[in-house]
Chain A
């Protein structure tokens, strides 16, 4: 059974850097084709794909966030870390991590964590 859980601050100030950790179980991020993605959802709005890290450390980022976003992994801890710099109130959202399968879709999602950007 695959599980994922996001953790990190619930409140950050504008211009600060957000660091979220996705801790997972039930799969290995060393398995060929597997990835962990990050998706966010502002309150009342649609899902937005942020980026993904693959088993081979390949990373892809949303063009709109590429200059601010970094995703890394620690396979020994079964964790993936999202770092988003220069936070702004428009970045207020529920942030999800999800398991990307070898056949190219997200089959398991974390519960999500709401991050509010406010001074």
Chain B
């Protein structure tokens, strides 16, 4: 089982939108709806932002959205704010186990 593939870093200006991709295989990302996304600020524990590809937990702003096409899932953040600057990790459930992506560092310019 290899880690899911994410871009190492992305950057965008405040107020703009950005999408972070997460590529797996037909056995993980492409094979079920159990893709989730986590946000991690420096020195903090990860926080769930999206589950089941596109669902937001209570309290997560609707600026955060998720989607999937084939073996690639995406996290889109619209109306970027300074507080969105963080590391983002995708994950996929597969047969009782979990795969994480390599993480993407989002810089809000």
A positions within 8 Å CB-CB of B: 37, 39, 46-49, 52, 54, 58, 60, 62-63, 96, 103-107, 109-112
| CB contact between A104 and one of B46, B57, B89, B93 (< 8 Å): that residue | B93
Report Cα–Cα, A15/B34, bound state, in Å.
Answer: 37
Task: Decide if B102 is an interface residue (CB 8 Å cutoff).
Answer: yes
Interface size band for B: 20 to 34
A101 nearest CB neighbor, chain B only: B51
**CB within 8 Å: A-B pair count:** 61
B48 touches A106 (CB 8 A): yes
- Given contacts A46-B89, A47-B46, A96-B45, whether A106 and B101 have CB atoms under 8 Å apart is no
Are A104 and B34 also in contact (CB < 8 A) when A96-B45, A111-B45 are?
A: yes
CA distance A92 to B43 in the complex (A): 16
Say yes or no: is B3 at the interface (Cβ < 8 Å to chain A).
yes
A73–chain B nearest beta-carbon distance, Å: 16
Report which of A46, A60, A105 forms a contact with B36, defined as CB distance below 8 A: A105
Q: A46-B102, A104-B34 are in contact. Are A62 and B97 (CB under 8 A)?
A: yes
Across the two chains, which residue of chain A brings its CB closest to B97?
A: A60
Which residue of the partner chain, among A47, A62, A104, A109, contacts B103 with CB atoms under 8 Å? A47
